[in-house]
Structure 1
Amino acid sequence: MAPEPAAASLKAEESANADPATAQKRRLVNFEIPLESRLVALTEPFGLGAEKFRILAARLENLRKKQKDLKSLQVTSGVIGEGKTLITGNLGLTFAKCSRSKVLLIEGDLHCPKLAAVFGLSPLPGVTDWWSGAKRDIQHSLYQLQDLPLWLLLAGGTHEQPSEILQSPRFAEAFAQFSRQFDWIVVDSAPMISAVAVNLWSRLVDGTLLVVREGVAPVKALKKGLASLDNPKLVGVVFNETSELDRASS
């Protein structure tokens, strides 16, 4: 019998060494993932929602066998409110749990970061703090979920010009280092209405997942958003809460 869903108590650990797999000195940060976060890959692992994320992860793994350089993804949407952050969190958890891949989740919408809240975390130092010099080594801003090969890189404090960070050679070098360290990198990017941010992430990642939620973004808005991207590198579309698909699978 499947266990009753319950809030998941985990710990995040701040890595101190360059290689997250061998980090020995870590600062523990206790937090609890709330049920309303809907991280079903963790709170309801035997449910239909978690199974759909396993299917998505398996399809991406199969795609990588054909497209050898597919290691990093940004998850975007047409507009706000389509569920891209939940998709990012659940996909990262699924990669880490099912294949034991080393996974890095990045809170990539520096204007409006939401990934920390989904994981029940209060604001922690992240990209902007590293950029301002508060953290000399970006590795010190990686937080690991205890007992899972899953790390988080959060946005950090507010910054007036986040595009300055994303387009810098310094950040590109840090991202290249992550690509050598991790099996999968999944970025919770901005929606396509923030075309500048999505374009900047496109230059760094290997592919883009587009999240579409029924009744939220008009088709014209989606087409306009995709047309605004220089090189979207689209590898797939995730239909979130789509009634016709739900009826077909029931």
Structure 2
Amino acid sequence: KAVLLTSSLEKEGKTTVSSQLAASLARTGRRVILVDVDLRRPSSHRMFDRPLNPGLAEYLRKKVSLDEVITTTRVENLWIIPAGTPHPDAIIALAQGDMEEPMRLLREQFDFIIVDSGPVLTDADVLVMGRLCDGVILSVLRDVSRIPLVYEACERIRMVDIPLIGTVLNGVSFGKYRPYYSSYSIEVSTKGKAKAKRR
């Protein structure tokens, strides 16, 4: 499975969410790779103390092979492809769909591909990458993300028929909202629709 993490604008927690999701899946014994396709603002490599390059930008510019940019991390069963050094040619290649073949190859090697992308409202290549994934998760940061822009981001994703798995709210103290969450459960149908059910 391939899941893309994005946000409406930058600095809304998507890299944190994608890194934590990748590490959590790896700890269950699955083979997981985190791919940083935010070629304008690379940051996933810092979450795991890995070098920036060689990375995806170098691969897209045909400077290195795919195997050369796959890097191990300290988390067992977790690998990462860092973004590499920002370069306009790499961004163009990403927008033109040059990740289709490498994504196919990665699906053969890993159980999960977690893609840390740029913000959907500013980077056109996000939707291109989204079409190569099985679904999208939108990161929302408390007191930072603006609700109208979050709605707009969701609509852009839906307009191109990319499955929106859901949103993740960051920066919220669970204890503060415990009474609310204990009053509701989420019932998910096999068709992917969800409804709140009071307990």
TM-score bin (small chain): 0.7 to 0.9
Task: Give the letter for the 2:117 counterpart.
Answer: S
Of residues 15, 20, 30 in structure 2, which corresponds to 1:90? 20
Matches of 1:141 and 1:104, distance apart in 2: 11
Partner of 2:110: 182
Task: Check if 1:132 corresponds to 2:61.
Answer: yes
Matches of 2:23 and 2:102, distance apart in 1: 23
SS of residue paired to 1:228: helix
Unaligned regions of 5+ residues in structure 1, if any?
A: 1-70
1:126–1:154 CA contact under 8 A, matched in 2: yes
CA-to-aligned-CA distance 1:178-210 (integer Å, 9 cap, x gap)? 011110000111112224122111111110011
TM-fit CA distance, 1:142: 0.2
Partner of 1:193: 121
Matches of 1:228 and 1:169, distance apart in 2: 18
TM-fit CA distance, 1:247: 1.3
TM-fit CA distance, 1:161: 3.9
1:211–1:240 CA contact under 8 A, matched in 2: yes
Task: Check if 1:79 corresponds to 2:9.
Answer: yes
TM-fit CA distance, 1:126: 0.8
Task: Check if 1:239 corresponds to 2:166.
Answer: no
TM-score normalised by structure 2 residue count: 0.81
TM-score normalised by structure 1 residue count: 0.65
Q: CA 1:161–1:170 in 2, change beyond 3 Å: closer, same or farther?
A: closer
Partner of 1:155: 83
Partner of 2:31: 102
Q: After TM superposition, where is structure 1 displaced by more than 3 Å over at least 4 residues in a row?
A: 167-170
SS of residue paired to 1:215: coil
SS of residue paired to 1:73: strand
TM-fit CA distance, 1:146: 4.5
Matches of 1:240 and 1:232, distance apart in 2: 23
Matches within 5 A, 1:1-250: 71-97=1-27, 99-135=28-64, 137-146=65-74, 148-168=76-96, 170-229=98-157, 230-243=160-173, 245-249=174-178
1:74–1:186 CA contact under 8 A, matched in 2: yes
Task: Give the letter for the 1:128 counterpart.
Answer: A
SS of residue paired to 2:58: helix
Partner of 1:29: none
Identity between Structure 1 and Structure 2 (%): 25
TM-fit CA distance, 1:156: 1.0
2:6–2:138 CA contact under 8 A, matched in 1: yes
Partner of 1:27: none
TM-fit CA distance, 1:76: 0.8
Matches of 2:132 and 2:86, distance apart in 1: 22
Matches of 2:73 and 2:80, distance apart in 1: 8
Task: Give the letter for the 1:191 counterpart.
Answer: P
